[in-house]
Amino acid sequence: MVKIKIDGIEYEVDEKKNLISAAKDAGVDIPFFCYHPKLSVVGMCRMCLIEIEGIPRLQVACNTKVTEGLSIVTKSDRVKEAREGTMEFLLANHPLDCPVCDKAGECQLQDNSFKEGKGNSRFTLEKRNIPQEEIGSNLIINHNRCIVCYRCVRFEEEMVGESNLGLFERGYHSIIGLAKEEPINHNYQGALADICPVGALLNHKTLFKSRVWWYKSEESVCPGCSTGCKTYTNVRDNKMFRYMPRIDEEKDQYFLCDKGRFDVDWLNTNRLFSFYKDGEASKSATVLDEISEKISRSKKIAVIGGAHESDQNLKSIKESLSKLGVAFVTEARVSSEQYKEPEQVDFLYTSDKRPNTKGAVDAGFVSAEGIDSIRSAASKGEFDLVFVIKEKSSEILAGVPSESIVILETNLTEDATKAKYSVPIKAYSEQTGSFTNKKGWSQNFNKSMEAPKGLSSSAEIFSLLEKKTLELRSNPREAAVGNR
């Protein structure tokens, strides 16, 4: 830590941080466009101009090293005039189309224009007009809105490891465009739209879907893989529209991959809301009573899956199982990727597609034998009941009689219609809890959607089965009469 002065006030800041980030930690916002804490510094936008004591000319904050005794001024008339000039220059050719731009409401150009701009323009010539282009499988570029901050080019080269974009022409004619003939097809097209400080880069999947101020947002965690990227959920009319990255500088989390960002359809459509018995919709009382009766007569049961469930649900399920008085085995690791350290598919996405494998291991929701041994035992009929929590039973339990399978699912899958019993459960977004990622970080997520009335979590289902099973054992005759 070092001591610096900002506008005459002394602060203690981290000397390893960029001056913009260090000032933000001290509660002082320095406006910028091209700067990003994870990208190289280029100083292209000239928005972060400041005065440095002892230096006659204005300097860019993004390229100023934090050192002991540094003294800067961020609010002088000279700095204000320079920023107003920068904004006027950037807005000279920028179209006034905020009402139809998807970035409206979360646009740095809007924010900086209100805080640092003049409110009027001296530009009287015709603004340039370049047709927008499709430059990716899920990415378009509106050249008229581009301020040539170079963020997108740097992000691809430095984070994704590809060079699809480049800066072409000079001066008035400068544009960001494709440097190759093939369109962009990597896993970070959503991140490119995010990192664009204006509405130049946009995604087809979210284009014109909703205004950002209509969303209800909650802090959450991406359920797409074991990386556990922090997110904000964007929900409207109780439907998930998108995830947005939740920046955590201390844990080096800034971005979100497309596989996690756009995987929202399963939360909005084809949900399993009915209890199923023998492939037909049934009553909850009928299904739960029959499962409880089978448990009460069982010698051994298995619970497979659970790596999609929260730490809290796994702990509760195991507690309920231990009270049943039946021998049981649990195994959340159902794929080979879960038995080893997750491999990086790219700089964020991993080979383990489940968000809480590490949490399941830490909670003891795994077995010494492993899934292959459990599968073999199940095919031989050694388990009276096999519960499968949000996994593909047809792949995991191939050859196991469906009569012994109970599926707990959020969606109406083919497996749910083929099992003896299927039980609907809440999605993670309809609960509050935590996932433990591959690094062992336990990260909380808040409830962001309202579950349909009567829908239970996986933990609540096992708690209910525990209660019903114990009632059967304590008074089988009364329970039988009550079940009619």
**pLDDT tens, residue by residue, 40-82:** 999 999 999 999 999 999 999 999 999 999 999 999 999 999 9
Q: Does 351 score more than 90 pLDDT?
A: yes
Confirm whether 37 is domain-assigned: yes
**E strands of 101-229, at which residues?**
133-136, 139-141, 165-168, 175-178, 201-202, 216-221
Domain stops at, among 75, 92, 113? 75
Q: Is the dihedral of CA 447, 448, 453, 456 positive or negative?
A: negative
Q: Does 467 score more than 70 pLDDT?
A: yes
Determine the Cα–Cα distance for residues 396 and 398; give it in Å rounded to an integer.
6
Q: Tell me which residue of 221, 310, 207, 211 sits closest to 261, measured CA to CA.
A: 221
Confirm whether 151 is domain-assigned: no
**pLDDT tens, residue by residue, 271-290:** 999 999 999 999 999 999 99
Average pLDDT over every residue of 30-48: 95
Q: At what angle do helices 108-116 and 77-91 cross, to 10 degrees?
A: 140
Q: Does 362 score more than 80 pLDDT?
A: yes
Confirm whether 92 is domain-assigned: no
Q: Does 90 score more than 70 pLDDT?
A: yes
Determine the Cα–Cα distance for residues 253 and 245; give it in Å rounded to an integer.
8
Q: Does 171 score more than 50 pLDDT?
A: yes
Residue-level pLDDT at 134: 95
Q: Does 295 score more than 60 pLDDT?
A: yes
Confirm whether 116 is domain-assigned: no
Q: Where in the sequence is the domain holding 54, given as residue range(s)?
A: 2-75
Q: Does 191 score more than 70 pLDDT?
A: yes
How many Cα atoms are found within 13 Å in the side-chain-facing hemisphere of 11? 21
Confirm whether 366 is domain-assigned: yes
The amino acid sitting at 188 is Y
Q: At what angle do helices 458-474 and 284-296 cross, to 10 degrees?
A: 60
Strand partners, 434: 444
Domain stops at, among 55, 75, 95? 75
Contact 392, 415 (CB under 8 A): yes
Query: Residue-wise over 406-430: b if at least 16 C-beta within 10 A, else e?
Result: bbbbbebbebbebbbbbbbbbbbbb
Confirm whether 189 is domain-assigned: no
Strand partners, 12: 3
In whole numbers, what is the pLDDT of the chain averaged over residues?
94
Confirm whether 220 is domain-assigned: no
Secondary structure letter of residue 480 according to DSSP: H
When divided into structural domains, the chain yields a total of: 2
Confirm whether 422 is domain-assigned: yes
The amino acid sitting at 57 is R
CATH number at 296 reads 3.40.50.740
**DSSP labels, 400-423:** S-GGGEEEEESB--HHHHHSSEEE
Q: Does 482 score more than 70 pLDDT?
A: no
Domain stops at, among 75, 106, 126? 75
